[in-house]
Structure 1
Amino acid sequence: MDKSTLISKLSLKNGFMLAAVSVVISIALHLIDPVLIYTSFVAQLGIFVLFIVLLVVVGINIRKEVGGYWTFGEAFKAFLIISLILAITANLYNVILMKFVDPDLPQQAAAAIKEAQVSMMEKFGLGKEEIEEALAKSGNMEEKLEPSFKNILTSFGVSIAMYGVLSLILSAILKKKAPVSFNTQPQVEA
């Protein structure tokens, strides 16, 4: 099997593994508190950091399995495949969750987000009129959370853009050139 095919195969395997981890974490968080992921910056940051760590570990493991060396392009290809799988899985999970499992979630999450925003603005000393104006500018949160075609497409696009940037960064960090070997022995012709 050539290196490119091996990288694709390993990326698919690891991408599906990370997608399964993502779904399990999402289900666990949903069971703990359905709106936690929408209202807790700490939870969002924790998940982000966890997935960066997992992507680095997966990248290092793929690099080892393909011989310990890979170019920036090979690393980017691997991370891009994994990213596509993660983005598709996250979008499918959200559609299933919000359409079939918990159709009231967009409404609950929108209310929780609004409550958190109002609380934060009050802590900053904003008046009632300023808070209402800020909420009006942010638009209808429930509409933004509904799994409509437009929202799914937007979410997928944002996910791919974020994962793309992350893939570029991780590829630059994890690329590793094979050492150049010099033959110091003179060639003897017979």
Structure 2
Amino acid sequence: MENTTSPVQASVKSGMIIGLLMLIINFVIYFIDYSLLVAAWYNIFVLILFFALIIYFGRQYRKEIGGYMTFSTAFQFSFVTLIISGLIATIGSVLLYSVIDPGLPEILVERQLEGMLSMLDKFGAGDSISADQLDEMRSEMSRSYTVMGQIKAFGFALIIYAIMSLILGAILKKRDKSLDY
């Protein structure tokens, strides 16, 4: 009998690697130019990298267990990997926004509002937002950078992780056709 790791064991290792890599990338971006943390292209890049790394580690695990993986195993691998890496990223964000640079959230909120108003101006709707609405958006965005806001965001992310895991499970599964009869 071969000595293979379970999907949970493999995904904990993969999740830690991905989470630490994402944390390192976030801190490097913070040191280069913190305003990039709220740039749309950066967030798209991180999402693509996230997907690519999970597929890479999923294929490595599939190869390790004999080249075939059921959808449920692939889903479990993906979901636990996403949870572990998301938890590490959340802890890193809490440290960044609350301990390392407590003034950063205020700056990022202003950058987000500038970007949003710029986009609304392009569509001709920039003048339609009142000062009260702007203050409410600023307040709401500021709350998302608090410890509680980060915890709530992680809770919401679990739903997103489940959906992503369904997609990743479908990508990673591979059926042994020799067992068909």
Asked if Structure 1 and Structure 2 have the same fold, meaning a TM-score greater than 0.5 normalized by the shorter chain, the answer is yes
> Which has the larger helix fraction?
2
Structure 1: runs of 5 or more not aligned: 184-190
Could you give the per-residue CA deviations for residues 79-113 of structure 1, whole angstroms, max 9, x where no partner exists? 11101101211110111001110100110011111
Structure 1 stretches of 4+ with a deviation exceeding 4 A read 1-5
Equivalence for 1:131: 129
Percent of aligned pairs with the same amino acid? 29
Equivalence for 1:188: none
1:162 to 149, 160, 163: 160
Equivalence for 2:170: 172
Q: 1:127 to 1:106 in 2, by over 3 A?
A: closer
Alignment of 1:4-153 (within 5 A): 5-38=5-38, 40-126=39-125, 128=127, 130-132=128-130, 135=134, 138=137, 140-149=139-148, 151-153=149-151
Equivalent AA in structure 1 for residue 13 of structure 2: K
Report the 3-state secondary structure (helix = DSSP H, G, I; strand = E; otherwise coil) of the residue aligned with 1:36. helix
Give the aligned CA root-mean-square deviation in angstroms. Answer: 2.3
Question: 2:98 touches 2:147 (CA, 8 Å); kept in 1?
Answer: no
Question: 2:118 touches 2:126 (CA, 8 Å); kept in 1?
Answer: no
Report the 3-state secondary structure (helix = DSSP H, G, I; strand = E; otherwise coil) of the residue aligned with 1:83. helix
Report the 3-state secondary structure (helix = DSSP H, G, I; strand = E; otherwise coil) of the residue aligned with 1:68. coil
Q: 1:127 to 1:84 in 2, by over 3 A?
A: closer
* Number of residue pairs the alignment of both structures matches: 180
Larger radius of gyration: 1
Offset at 1:125?
Answer: 2.1
Q: 1:180 to 1:104 in 2, by over 3 A?
A: same
